[in-house]
Amino acid sequence: MRRDLVKVLAPIVFIVLALGFYFVLLGGRGLELVRSGEAAAVGLGIGVLLLPLVGVWIVYATLRAGLQHQHLSRRIHEEGLELDVSDLPRRPSGRVDRDAADALFEQVKEEWEADPDNWRHSYRLARAYDYAGDRGRARETMRRAVALEKLERTQSPD
């Protein structure tokens, strides 16, 4: 388990550190341009300074979403509600066969329609969307699952 964690965290830490280094270099170049005092260079420098800010926000949002999804995944696993795709046919690439993924999606969609305000059903639907290849809806539905789970945690009398 610990070795798997290191295999996942090491590349993430490396990428975040590399991006941090890049953002510092980019910020330095932006400051140099602003300090030059020339109108065009100042304008360009301001634009260059915005890039690291946007980059930091993207890294933060991505890591935050990943941690939230991992939290839901852990809870789903503990509750024994993971989608079982082990017996579904696969393509040579390893992805679930499209027809099998669509059939799984229809089954999970029915569960979700019966109780759309349950984060567990939204999580399972997001995973089914992913298996079916609809990443946009998978992300949107996972965001809904995160919000519903957070609402459930804040309202539960623990």
Q: What is the mean pLDDT of each run of 10 residues along the chain (158 residues)?
A: 80 93 94 94 95 93 94 94 89 89 92 94 95 93 96 81
Residue 90, beta-bridge partner list = 96
Residues 6+ apart with CB under 8 A from 1: none
Whole-model pTM over 0.85: no
C-alpha of 108 from chain center: 21
Return the pLDDT at 21: 95
123, 76 Cβ separation under 8 angstroms: yes
Return the pLDDT at 7: 85
Return the pLDDT at 125: 96
Number of Cβ within 10 Å of residue 112's Cβ equals 20
If phi > 0 it is left, if psi is from -120 to 50 it is alpha, else beta; for residue 119 that is: alpha
Pairwise CA distance, residues 86 & 10, whole Å: 28
